[in-house]
Amino acid sequence: MGGDDDHAEVAELRSALSWWLESGVDAATVDEPQDRLKPPSQRLPAAAPTVIEELPDNLELFRAWLREAQDVPFAGTGPRVLPAGPEQPAIMLITDMAAADSGSDQGPVAGDSWQLTQRMLRSVGIAAEQTYRASLSCFHHVAGLPKSKDLDACVTIARRHIGLVKPQRLLLLGDGAAMALLGKKVAAARGHVQKVEGVRTVATFHPTFLMNQPSQKDAAWADLLLLTEE
């Protein structure tokens, strides 16, 4: 019986197909109306990554470039937060981006985070006036910095920045800075002395993280001691 049913079904399908062909139907259709005269939509090209052609070769010109350039990576609509501190400092701090509460003249580590950082630095004999603060991006981004060619440009800029500042030591604050310059998150990078542009470097937790996770302050203290030991 099953074989007879199959043959009958095939015969019905052939009959229906013959009827459609005789009726002039020669293409499949869909339920929704289609505009077949409309030209195919064109996919917009992705935004071109920032191209860094030539960076200034002295710190004064470099900081002026950060202040005025319109094509810096990850440019945002908020205030442009510039680095702060002296040339050849005892320590240079780098975070991934300006803090949400940073004003244009406060530096990328500001507010309560900067107060906590100053207390930690004073405990190892480093004053605020001996500290240079910088970030991979001069702008704050709520979702953080995405992985892209622009991030590669930020790393190129940061390395030039370090070379021009000439710090005695470099402290990377948070996963963003550690990943960009060491290729590891803080959990994997901390506890070890690294070299970035020839500078003694340690990665540690961002002060904002420490304010939310005070149990990690001892670990950050150990990182700071490791960085500053002779």
Any idea what the CATH number is for the domain that residue 66 is in? 3.40.470.10
Task: Provide the residue-wise pLDDT of the chain in tens; the chain has 230 residues.
Answer: 555 655 666 666 666 666 556 655 565 565 555 665 655 555 444 444 444 568 999 999 999 999 988 878 767 667 788 999 999 999 999 998 876 655 545 678 888 999 999 999 999 999 999 999 999 988 776 555 556 567 888 899 999 999 999 999 999 999 999 999 999 999 999 999 999 999 999 999 999 999 999 999 999 999 999 999 97
Q: What is residue 48's predicted lDDT score, i.e. its pLDDT? A: 45
In this prediction, residue 47 carries a pLDDT of 44
Q: Which two tokens stand for residue 157?
A: 């800029």
Q: What single letter denotes the amino acid at residue 38?
A: K
Distance, in Å, from the CA atom of 126 to the CA atom of 133, rounded to the nearest integer, reads: 13
- 59-68 vs 149-165: helix axis angle to the nearest 10? 150
Q: Residue 70's pLDDT is what? A: 81
pLDDT at 10: 61
Number of domains in the chain: 1
pTM for this prediction: 0.74
What six digits make up the tokens of 81? 């937060």
193 inside domain: yes
Q: Please indicate, yes or no, if residue 50 is contained in any of the structural domains.
A: no
Candidates 195, 178, 194; CA nearest to 186 is: 178
Would 6 be classed as within a structural domain?
no
In a domain, 142, yes or no: yes
Q: How far apart are CA 136 and CA 161, in angstroms?
A: 10
Q: What is the per-residue pLDDT for 46?
A: 43
Tokens describing residue 160: 């030039």
Range of the domain at 92: 59-228
Count CA within 13 A, CB hemisphere, residue 189.
Answer: 25
Quick check: 124 and 133 in contact, CB under 8 A?
A: no
Instruction: Judge whether 215 lies within some domain.
Output: yes
The crossing angle, in degrees rounded to 10, of helices 175-182 and 149-165 is 90
- Amino acid in position 184: K
Cα(147)–Cα(132) distance, integer angstroms: 26
* Any domain includes 178: yes
Q: Considering the domain boundaries, does residue 23 fall inside one?
A: no
Do the domain assignments include residue 220? yes
Tokens standing for residue 2: 């099953």
Kindly give the pairing relationship between strand 194-196 and strand 199-204. antiparallel
**What is the pLDDT, as a whole number, of residue 62?**
95
> What per-residue confidence (pLDDT) applies to 36?
58
**Enclosing H/E stretch for 220:** helix 217-228
